[in-house]
Chain A
């Protein structure tokens, strides 16, 4: 079943002269782990905003074409209705926490929905536990590291038990080990709970191992849409300047110099495995 489906989605910001999204038609299935990537300014964030109705309800502007999320047509439902089904995590963790305690922040969405207190308590505890930050529950946001803040932001969204979680460059303010932890948390939500994940990311080396569907955008259009292996190995990806995983790039370079690995690796683990096989074969 398609969780997110767009047909000919075209959008212009009220202040913009150029179309930010142009004829975007994609389908995201339930339980997928989608990585969305592309050069800066190509419209990734804008597309994410469409998923929960921030575009067009919050930003205004002209939205053409069709988009439905978990069966709801975005243009006909308000942001808070969509928020029950789609959770957004943004780039800057600091600006996503506004309560004085972590716990209170995690409860915020549920409070807005008018969920009874006992239920809020249960779900907050569950969300904190799932993201591994129970020990932070009474800390103030400004006492936390960026990585911890971002995990809190994920817990905030998780507590609302969405079907889809959209994360817009959640690790760009973090160091590699912090990023790794975030990816692990997300991947677990995807695997264990079947939450559909859309992850916007430039650092494909780390992220691509978890993904089974990659979208590449360029200048408002989705130019590549498919399996990670296939997408990363394509000529287009390299030309646009997508940060193709090093393992994939290695196999391409080897191929250019006459070494055929037979398969295209995406992660370094895969690459070493394939290389070992090839070396043994020769």
Chain B
């Protein structure tokens, strides 16, 4: 079941988990905007560090590191591509007189590419903080209360509900087919993909049957009886949520101010390398 472990939300409770998903989402959006505003290394490092306390308070370090590791390959690609292209046409980068040939110029180039990579990492970071600390149930509720059509919210929470069930089913089918002599790890790449067909077909057939039964149950419980559906739970913004929103707004204002009126020098210049 290891493949699907990452998809299964673990019920933990922390001050971060208890925040309203809407407030957290606003925070993530602000982080996103600020990250896009800057392409210098210093503010992006600040942005990266600002979110660390959230990760630790929520106690999701391990999952968080895992998601960053997942983004490693893309990050490296971004770095390499930026570095190579900036080397080929370095025009516009502060402190570089083409062609790139002195050590300070190489450092500058390095810093520039690194900053763009860090921007990507910051985006990944803030989204993973959001998804690692928001229960799917809360998220579904937040969607509902943000006037997203109920059908969509229902589909979302139901999908999450059935992930462990389908994972278990996939495992059972895999074991059954292996017992009949199916060898999954044999052959070349194409062959290996083909090996999975005897697992996918029963899995899909079962899923369709399951969805029919679900539909029948939903109908039997008055699905679509009224336009005005009520809800057992409501999300209300509480004090910590307002604090988070205020802080986000403050950061956004500050960032816009810095961007417009304060030139941010490259780290290489500040450290006088």
Q: Which residue of B lies closest to A139 (CB)?
A: B11
The distance in angstroms between the C-alpha atoms of A121 and B232, with both chains bound, is: 7
Please report the total number of A residues contacting B with Cβ < 8 Å.
42
Q: Would A98 and B229 count as touching, CB distance under 8 A?
A: no
- Given A90-B216, A100-B136, are A114 and B230 also a contact pair (CB < 8 Å)? yes
- Given A95-B210, A117-B231, A141-B161, are A112 and B221 also a contact pair (CB < 8 Å)? yes
B25 shortest CB reach to chain A, Å: 19
Picked from B140, B219, B226, B234, the residue with its CB within 8 Å of the CB of A79 is: B219
Q: Would B221 and A160 count as touching, CB distance under 8 A?
A: yes
- 12 cross-chain CB contacts under 8 A: A79-B220, A79-B222, A83-B225, A87-B220, A96-B213, A99-B157, A100-B137, A104-B232, A109-B221, A109-B222, A110-B230, A114-B228
Q: Would B232 and A107 count as touching, CB distance under 8 A?
A: yes
B217, B220, B230 interface centre (most CB from chain A within 10 Å): B220
- Given A54-B220, A83-B220, A120-B232, are A94 and B165 also a contact pair (CB < 8 Å)? yes
The distance in angstroms between the C-alpha atoms of A221 and B11, with both chains bound, is: 51
Which residues of A come within 8 Å of B, CB atoms?
52, 54, 58, 79-81, 83-84, 87-88, 90, 92, 94-101, 103-104, 107-117, 120-121, 124, 140-142, 156-157, 160
Q: Indicate if B214 sits at the interface (CB-CB under 8 A).
A: yes
Q: Would A90 and B213 count as touching, CB distance under 8 A?
A: yes
Q: Would B161 and A80 count as touching, CB distance under 8 A?
A: no
Specify which chain B residues have a CB less than 8 angstroms from the CB of A104 in the assembled complex. Answer: 137, 232-233
The distance in angstroms between the C-alpha atoms of A142 and B167, with both chains bound, is: 11
Specify which chain A residues have a CB less than 8 angstroms from the CB of B161 in the assembled complex. Answer: 97-100, 140-142
Q: Indicate if B244 sits at the interface (CB-CB under 8 A).
A: no
Enumerate B194-248 residues with CB–CB distance to A below 8 Å: 210, 213-226, 228-234
Q: Indicate if B164 sits at the interface (CB-CB under 8 A).
A: yes
B158, B218, B226, B230 interface centre (most CB from chain A within 10 Å): B230
Specify which chain B residues have a CB less than 8 angstroms from the CB of A109 in the assembled complex. Answer: 221-222
Specify which chain B residues have a CB less than 8 angstroms from the CB of A84 in the assembled complex. Answer: 222
Q: Would B216 and A83 count as touching, CB distance under 8 A?
A: no
The distance in angstroms between the C-alpha atoms of A100 and B233, with both chains bound, is: 13
Interface of A is mostly: helix
Q: Which residue of B lies closest to A124 (CB)?
A: B232
0/1 string, B142-166, CB within 8 A of A gives 1: 0000000000001001101110110
The distance in angstroms between the C-alpha atoms of A83 and B216, with both chains bound, is: 12
Q: Would A114 and B216 count as touching, CB distance under 8 A?
A: no
The distance in angstroms between the C-alpha atoms of A246 and B210, with both chains bound, is: 35
- Given A80-B225, A100-B157, A142-B164, are A111 and B232 also a contact pair (CB < 8 Å)? yes
The distance in angstroms between the C-alpha atoms of A117 and B229, with both chains bound, is: 10
B215 shortest CB reach to chain A, Å: 8
Q: Which residue of B lies closest to A117 (CB)?
A: B230
Q: Which residue of B lies closest to A91 (CB)?
A: B213
The distance in angstroms between the C-alpha atoms of A142 and B229, with both chains bound, is: 26
Specify which chain B residues have a CB less than 8 angstroms from the CB of A140 in the assembled complex. Answer: 11, 161
Specify which chain B residues have a CB less than 8 angstroms from the CB of A103 in the assembled complex. Answer: 232
Q: Would B222 and A113 count as touching, CB distance under 8 A?
A: yes
Q: Would B222 and A117 count as touching, CB distance under 8 A?
A: no
Q: Would A90 and B217 count as touching, CB distance under 8 A?
A: yes
Specify which chain B residues have a CB less than 8 angstroms from the CB of A58 in the assembled complex. Answer: 215-216, 219
B138 shortest CB reach to chain A, Å: 10
The distance in angstroms between the C-alpha atoms of A113 and B228, with both chains bound, is: 8
